[in-house]
Amino acid sequence: MPESPYLVLDPEQVRANYRALADAVSAPRSRDTRIRYAVKAAPVDELLTLLDTEGAEFDVASIGEIDQCLRLGIDAGALCYGNPIKKSAHIARAFALGVRRYAFDTEDDLARIAEHAPGTEVECRFLSAAPESRTPFGTKFGCAPREATRLLVRARDLGLTVAGPYFHVGSQQLDPTAWRIGIEQAGQIVSTLADKGIRVPAVNVGGGLPISYAEDAPSLGEIAAAMTDAAARFLPENTALVVEPGRALVGNAGTIHAEVVGVRFAPDGRRWVYLDIGRYNGMAETENEYIAYRFVTDRDGDPVGEAVVAGPTCDGDDVLYQRTRVLLPTTLRAGDRIQILHTGAYTASYSSVSFNGFPPLTVHVSGAERE
């Protein structure tokens, strides 16, 4: 048995998720829909290779992710440098490596792309009026829709090819109407650009597709229906949709195997359960307790009680849940095994290098092993 903690990924579940999403978003056969995997969710070689064979495109956030994809034999034409925050040197290197599609949300970044990646396709990210998601971006990314229209006209004038507007409804978005709102706003941009002689081939509706953790999430079918219905209402029929899932493809394909390090009762009487995994070696998405993972133990079936769940480091912020009501067996003891379900997304990729000397989360892929 590998040393705890470790993540086990099931590639066949990823394949099934990809095909289910492809079927759902392709229901209206008159509209082209492309799936672009957000590599940052789980940048695991075996999963990238699998998704490439399935026909996916790839949203890459850095030169490191570009290099990884190219090392695996993925064609540069399948990559979009989707991070609006990037250095001139990185744009130039990506261009030299064959990347021909970029996202931006400021005039400065647009100018850098025009200078260092001339003639390429660009998507302008705007801040949609979508409801807040479980792990929101706030206003870190995206310009106003009116500004997006102006910047895409500017892109045309700089000799770049306009791919279209781009929005993201926030990670783990539980309200399907978020995509209707974003697509309606994108449709207004598309219409204004058409009046200026610019045909928009695609609208990028971003990621944010949710999965069920402790709380249920809308199904892929519900999300896809919201997208396709909105596209039928607000976009020309020949405008393609680009969907950028990360969590929806890999989240339920992973399980973290961990161990109870200790149990104590604090002076206030609350029971604390300490695990060998915490915020810094895989559980970063428990920040603000946004994501409520489900736990499975070998003592399930015993009486349960509320517990504060914490990680192993000496950092006071390394607490997973103290406001969320977590029920765990009262018989849990040090050395007991515990599984954390649906942890395929944003766990290993968030894991620190060596905080407090704890190693990064080890990843095992069914049928293969990697560190």
Map residue 349 onto helix, strand or coil: helix
Element housing 66 (H / E)? helix 63-71
| Amino acid present at 95 | F
Q: Do the bridges between strand 254-265 and strand 6-9 make them parallel or antiparallel, or are there none, so unpaired?
A: antiparallel
Pick the catalytic residue from 69, 124, 143, 314. Answer: 314
Residue 46 near residue 254 (C-beta atoms within 8 A) = no
Residue 277 near residue 340 (C-beta atoms within 8 A) = yes
Four-residue CA torsion sign, 104, 107, 111, 114 = positive
Contacts of 343 (CB under 8 A, 6+ apart): 7, 251, 254, 255, 256, 282, 293
Active site residue 314: yes
Cα(195)–Cα(25) distance, rounded to whole angstroms? 28
Q: Which two tokens stand for residue 352?
A: 């620190």
Bridge partners for 277 per DSSP: none
Cα(228)–Cα(232) distance, rounded to whole angstroms? 6
- Catalytic residue ranges: 314
